[in-house]
Amino acid sequence: MKSTRYQFEVKSDDMVRIDKYLSECLPDISRAKIKRLIEAGFVTLDGVTVEKAGLKAKPGDQLDILLMLEQDSGLVPERLPLDIIFENDQIIVVNKPSGMVVHPGAGNHTGTLVNALLAHFPPIRDVGAVDRPGIVHRLDKETSGVMVFAKTEKAYRWLVKQFKSQDVYKSYLALVDGHPPTPTGRIEAPIARDSRTRTRMVVGVQGQGKPAVSEYHLLREFNRHTLLEVHPITGRTHQIRVHLSYLGVPVVGDTLYGRRRPSISLGRIFLHAKTLQLRLPGERNLRNFEAPVPDALQSVLLELQEQEERL
């Protein structure tokens, strides 16, 4: 991504707001975008990074601004239903439905969560990566549950740092085929891309793959299935699905890593991101966000329970 740096000496008779002054110097750039650039740390006042758009500069001060020349991502806003759990001026937390792709890609150019977010909050287009605006983590297409998106560049950097340092707590509900070897466990197995099938991940061997760690504990045991709560400590692609399959208890409905013929007719995989705990920008205490278990998954658990009672 190309960038251009502009320098301006404040020429006024009095103190001026930095965002207002820069928007006057750069008439093709909206004041809202100037504000986002300030929050992202792309503006300096006499060599010192400006953190607040409302900060004032005096006559003779030197203002520097770095403009990122973004390419057109081609992303199209779409008025699609959004199940919003929480929203403020920094982030938006949603309950992603199963079957919905997070962002456009090969074979999925529309109908994604990003398309819906662009219609709900257009300025998110300028946050984060050009083709993946606002995204700080992802869920697989068939996985439902809680996701957080950044609405500003400052929030984006704040959240990315938390995910990278593994300071975010995530818990998933997974119904698996069979029974794990122990009621609780920790899986430490590196994950790499399958050299034969590029859409598939595998547990790496002989030093291959990236480190991956998942913890689980048993919630309910059925005759042929087990309900687990899984806590992924790292965030590798398909991590939970790969790790549980490696353990010998693949997720129900996961035809990529488990049975080709699902043991339960569900039309999706039984994996739900239930809980997400993190710190909001500028806050010290953890916030907890939770997505209710979808009715389709609740119905499966109820049916398994009734089967157990009839035995």
CATH number of the domain to which 26 belongs: 3.10.290.10
pLDDT, tens digit, 9 for 90 and up, residues 273-306: 999 999 998 898 999 999 999 999 999 999 999 9
pLDDT, tens digit, 9 for 90 and up, residues 73-124: 568 899 999 999 999 999 999 999 999 999 887 667 789 999 999 999 999 9
In the listed set 69, 93, 128, which residue is the last one of a domain according to the structure?
A: 69
- Identify whether residues 159 and 134 lie together within a single domain: yes
Give the Cβ contact number of residue 6 at 10 Å. Answer: 14
Residue 140 among the catalytic residues: yes
The total number of structural domains that make up the chain: 3
Length of the chain: 311
* 240 to 91, 128, 178, 290, 291: CA distances (angstroms): 26, 26, 16, 19, 18
- Identify whether residues 198 and 261 lie together within a single domain: yes
Mean pLDDT for 2-16 is 83
Whether the full predicted model's pTM is greater than 0.85, yes or no, is no
In the listed set 144, 165, 186, which residue is the last one of a domain according to the structure?
A: 165
Mean pLDDT for 259-273 is 95
Nearest partner of 179 among 234, 240, 252, judged by Cα:
252
Those residues whose C-beta lies under 8 Å from the C-beta of residue 251, and which sit 6 or more positions away, are 174, 175, 176, 177, 240, 241, 244, 245, 257, 258, 269, 270, 271
pLDDT over 70, % of the chain:
95
Q: Provide the residue range defining the domain that includes 131.
A: 73-165
Which one of 126, 140, 177, 254 is the catalytic residue?
140
- Identify whether residues 46 and 159 lie together within a single domain: no
State the pLDDT at residue 173. Answer: 98
- Identify whether residues 184 and 282 lie together within a single domain: yes
- Identify whether residues 100 and 156 lie together within a single domain: yes
* 35 to 11, 51, 215, 223: CA distances (angstroms): 20, 10, 41, 58
Residue 68 pLDDT grade (very low, low, confident, very high; cuts 50, 70, 90): low
- Identify whether residues 36 and 52 lie together within a single domain: yes
CATH number of the domain to which 202 belongs: 3.30.2350.10
Mean pLDDT for 142-150 is 97
- Identify whether residues 121 and 253 lie together within a single domain: no
- Identify whether residues 53 and 105 lie together within a single domain: no
> Is the sign of the CA dihedral 253, 258, 262, 264 positive or negative?
negative
